[in-house]
Structure 1
Amino acid sequence: MRSLLSVSLVSLLSAAASAVAEEAPVSFRRDVAPILLDRCQACHGAKKAEGGYRVDTFVQLQKAGDSGEPPIGASAAEPSELLRRITCTDEFERMPVDSDPLSAAQIALFTKWIAAGAKFDGADPAQPLRLVIPPPTYAAAPASYPRAVPITAVTFSPDGKQLVVGGYHELTIWDVASGKLARRIGNLGERTYALRFSPDGQMLAVGCGQPGASGEVRLVRFASGGVTGVVCRSDDVVLDLAFRPGSTQLAAAMTDSSIRVVDTASLSEVRTIAGHADWVTAIAYSDDGTQLASASLDQSAKVFDAETGAVLASYPGHAAAVRGVCILPDNQQVVSVGDDQKVHRWQIADAKKVAEIGIGAEGRALLRTGDDLFVPAADKRTRRIDLKENKVAQQFEGHGDWVLSAAIFGAKQEAGDARVLATGDFAGEVRLWKLADGSLQQSWLAKP
């Protein structure tokens, strides 16, 4: 029976190869890998490998399962167990099991790919399929939203005239003076969690993704809105970003417990820092770019040497998830905030706490400018903490839901405080505050 199947497969392969000789060659990363990921990996992945067979990487795809049969033949004339399984009519042997069979077009892609030598055309055959597959081009966002989305990221444009807000598969750009929608930048992940402009103000790094499914950093030319590169791809969202001062390096806080550092000029990875045991929720460079601080769900905040990735300090004092972190200008101390409802100020040299400021709510992030620290929180307020006095100096109230994000523009001068604070909440409202007197300058629902 097996010999007859082999002859049948050889005939099928020969006929298919002849019929599509004039067509473009099948690409593993573009054509085959998406089918494997969508239709096969659920039963044949790293966590669940039915029949001892895995398809989650090209390397694993080549390895025989419990049957011992070669999944991919060395040539078109040799049996391929994978092809036999997806083409057989026996419902107990056909893959996918308990699901609709692959379409004729999908089977034709496998057939042609195997007939051409089953070549790998990616960068690393040991890479997970989700990273081998080319980054997607996302469909356009809806013209209008049925409801607002949580504002998990905001930032001012370099000139301060516009506010960039994370939307649904897009960024919405709002005029600061009027609160009106100015334009939209699409082709982004489902949700945006981090926004950072490059030091020259030309590039906008967007940490985005679909929770529990995919994540990436997209580099966008702000003037044109075009995506120029995709880095730091993963199977969950990217939670924070930080440009290293004085360089083209960008650090990304990942849910796989790592920090990835990439060069935005070459789109190459510089290093991966693996110092946490759970999601990295926030990151921040020191002003001189020599140190990198991080916060994590593992209840710790850490400081690393930015050049080597070596751990310089680890602070466990929160005893709860840590959501925000920053290094003070002297490079000697760090402030961090989290679910314990306190801002902790601690020393890098010995990881000892030197001050504690109660805020009465879970802190969702940290934003520092000069001697001021801003803390958006789950009690619908944002607090300004005076770092000279280590106390809450100002509160901004009025949001109807958790405040999740904040951004600052302007400078504090002798003639007065010209800074503007932007805050975004879970219900989709954006508020602009004058820091000189704490008054509300503008507010709107960031919903196209």
Structure 2
Amino acid sequence: MRMFCALVFVAPLAAAQPLTARAEEPPKVSYYKDVRPVFQQHCNGCHQPAKPLGGYVMTTHADLLKAGEREKVGVVPGKPAQSYLVEQIKVHNTGKAEMPKGRDPLGAAQIKLITDWIAQGAVDDTPASAKAAAVDASNPPKYSAPPVVTAVAFSPDGAQLAVTGYHEVLIYDTTELKLRSRLIGISERVQSLAFSPDGKKLAAVGGAPGRFGEVQVWRPGDEKLLLSAPVTFDTLYGVSWSPDGKTLAFGCADNTVRAIDAASGKQTLQMGTHSDWVLGTVFSQDGAHLISVGRDMSMKLTEVETQRFVDNVTSITPGALKGGLITVDRRPVKERRVTKVPQDEGGKFIEKVYDEVVVAGADGRPRLYKIHREVKRQIGDDANKIREYEPLPGRVSAVAFNSDGSKFAACSSLDGKGEVRVYDSTSGAKVVCEKVTGPAYAVAWQPDGKRIASAGFDGIVWLHDPATGKLVNSFVALPKK
């Protein structure tokens, strides 16, 4: 027994010394796990191949060790004091820093993380499996198969058709269906596209799943990236422009709907009453409200100026909707109408601009709603619903009205097949488009109403006559080698 007791007391003393020595060593900072995510969230928007502010790129480890236009090396391994990057992110007595430009400085912990990493030798510990060839205008994406197309959009003049690819947006002219531009950014996935009301800009949202979300604003005419705004740590969805072209709204996988200034990237709205991913957004015709839909089986109304959640447009009764909502579009109107909406208190009514939207999602059935409640809420009601339409097979991924709101198109997918339909907004009569060869995820109207474009899993873009459903033309969204 005495021998056993001696062992019990001696063993902890012997183990204590190496533990003390290890505690004194500064923690090792990982570039891949610790530093790179900070750069992605705060720096890559302005320091990427498509937009190298100051001639400095921060999307790869090798670029970090280079100098920018001022001929000062950004990162000097082992020497933070000689690293221009550290000087740029340092917070001055004014509480501001040179970088990130126009934004709040990095936090003290983030600055220490970067400084310690440089002091420890600025080692690149990126796993071999995560190292891929850089993708930019000089090294465009290479395809072994056509990309899955998640979104298509016509320019307001109908001259251009934007199609999503991998790491890029492909711009085709609509006369000859030839590829004219490749807008290559840092987002691996581009989930949604929208031209500005004046047609001069193209917004794209997407990101890299589980790493970052990004809003891009391009000027397609000269392939110039005007804005790259990192938002959240996951992919973004459902981008839309405000009627005046000054604001961009989108949905996030953190259950929020957000809006930013389209010129500066500064956030102007955040609403968090959704309980699942927000997948679609659209502004009211006067820009005063934002409508959003999500996987939580709800459509919500937000007041833009106050960022205040106003109401659930759809019924909140369990079982009223059979699945999540994926897509929404506002019905264009020739003349602005107003409606009387009950106030929360006193039973008084106030006037609001009347708007209708079509929504669809997992249950395949498009529904038309007015966005403002005109009667007092009753438990279990769905009073804003105007009508339902015959369901498509499977899940509806996109809906889009024509320019006068008389018709809308919708596309769906189920068991490796797809369908594209055109509905009469008033009567519900439908036209089924022919020769759709695979799951369909995207649809858009040409402004003159003579064609609809749709695409999906197999990378083929179909152009149909919406009156007859006849296939007019098609092409594969695949840049030539």
TM > 0.5 fold call: yes
Relative to 1, partners in 2 of residues 1:257 and 1:118: Cα closer, same or farther, differing over 3 Å? closer
Distance 1:127 1:153 in 2: 40
AA matched with 1:403: A
Alignment partner of 1:38 is 2:52: no
User: Which residue of structure 2 aligns with residue 432 of structure 1?
Assistant: 463
The one-letter amino acid of 1:383's match is: R
Q: Does residue 1:325 correspond to 2:356, yes or no?
A: no
Q: Percent identity?
A: 25
Match of 1:139 in 2: 136
Contact 2:271/2:309 (8 A) holds in 1: no
Question: 2:440 — aligned with what?
Answer: 403
Aligned position for 2:472: 441
Letter in 1 for 2:269: R
Q: Distance in 2 between matches of 1:217 and 1:340?
A: 29
CA distance in 2, matches of 1:262, 1:115: 28
Separation in structure 1 between the aligned mates of residue 203 and residue 409 of structure 2, nearest angstrom: 22
Partner Cα separation in structure 1 for residue 105 and residue 271 of structure 2: 20
User: Are 1:179 and 2:202 counterparts?
Assistant: no
143 and 344 in structure 1: CA distance in 2 versus 1, 3 angstrom threshold: closer
Distance 1:239 1:39, change over 3 A: closer
Match 1:423 to one of 433, 454, 463 = 454
Contact 1:262 1:270 in 2 (8 A): yes
SS in 2 for 1:397: coil
1:131-210 aligned within 5 A: 138-140=135-137, 141-142=139-140, 144-210=142-208
CA 1:57–1:410: 2 relative to 1, 3 Å: closer
Distance in 1 (CA, whole Å) between partners of 2:248 and 2:453 is: 23
Counterpart in 2 of 1:375?
Answer: 410
1:124-164 deviations in Å (ceiling 9; x for gaps):
4459969x99xxx9534546411111100111234323321
Q: In the TM superposition, what is the alpha-carbon distance from 1:425 to its structure 2 partner?
A: 1.0
- Which residue, 424, 441, 459 being the options, matches 1:386? 424
1:344 Cα deviation (Å)? Answer: 2.4
CA–CA distance in 2 between the matches of 1:281 and 1:363?
12
Deviations 1:257-280 (A, max 9, x none): 112211123332212122211111
Match of 2:399 in 1: 366
Structure 1 distance, partners of 2:86, 2:182, is: 45
Q: Which residue of 2 aligns with 1:67?
A: none
Tell me the distance in 2 between the aligned counterparts of 1:127 and 1:436: 61
Specify whether residues 333 and 150 from structure 1 end up closer, same or farther in structure 2 by C-alpha distance, changes over 3 A only.
Answer: same
Distance 1:173 1:57 in 2: 27
Is 1:307 the counterpart of 2:330? The answer is no
Distance in 1, Cα, partners of 2:396 & 2:108: 37
Q: Is the 8 A contact 2:281 2:328 kept in 1?
A: yes
Q: Is the 8 A contact 2:252 2:279 kept in 1?
A: yes
Q: Distance in 2 between matches of 1:261 and 1:446?
A: 30
Please tell me whether residue 336 in structure 1 is matched to residue 398 in structure 2: no
* SS state at 1:365 partner: strand
**SS where residue 224 of structure 1 aligns?**
coil
Distance (whole Å) between structure 1 residues aligned to residue 183 and residue 399 of structure 2: 26
> Partners of 1:128 and 1:375 in 2: how far apart?
48
In the alignment, the residues of structure 2 paired with residue 332 and residue 143 of structure 1 have an alpha-carbon distance, to the nearest angstrom, of 41
Match of 2:32, SS state, is helix
Query: CA 1:397–1:361 in 2, change beyond 3 Å: closer, same or farther?
Result: farther
Change (3 A) 1:372 1:117: closer
Q: Give the match's secondary structure for 2:458.
A: coil
Q: CA deviation at 1:364?
A: 0.8
Task: Give the count of matched residue pairs.
Answer: 355
Partner Cα distance (2:109, 2:365) in 1: 39
TM-score, normalisation: structure 2 = 0.65
How many angstroms apart in 2 are the aligned matches of 1:57 and 1:233?
7
Contiguous gaps of at least 5 residues in structure 1:
10-34, 46-55, 59-103, 412-417
- Per-residue deviation, 1:203: 1.3
In structure 2, stretches of 5+ residues that fail to align are 1-16, 43-74, 92-96, 115-133, 338-353
- Cα 1:437/1:112, change in 2 over 3 Å: closer
Partner amino acid for 1:266?
S
Q: Secondary structure at the match of 1:438?
A: coil
TM-superposed deviation, 1:184: 1.6
